[in-house]
Amino acid sequence: MQAIIEACGKQYKVAEGDVIFMEKLGAEVEETVTFDKVLAILDGEKATFGTPVVEGAKVEAKVVKNGKGKKIRVFKYAPKKGYRKRQGHRQPYTKVEIGKISV
DSSP string, 46-89: EEEE-SSS-TT-EEEEEEEEEEE---EEEEEEETTTTEEEEEEE
b (16+ CB within 10 A) / e for 84-101 = eeeeeeeeebbebebbeb
Q: What's the predicted TM-score (pTM) here?
A: 0.83
**Amino acid in position 28:** E
Q: How far apart are CA 23 and CA 10, in angstroms?
A: 9
* Tens of pLDDT, residues 1-48: 999 999 999 999 999 999 999 999 989 999 999 999 999 999 989 999
pLDDT at 103: 86
Return the ∠ at Cα 43 (arms to 31 and 36), rounded to 5°: 35
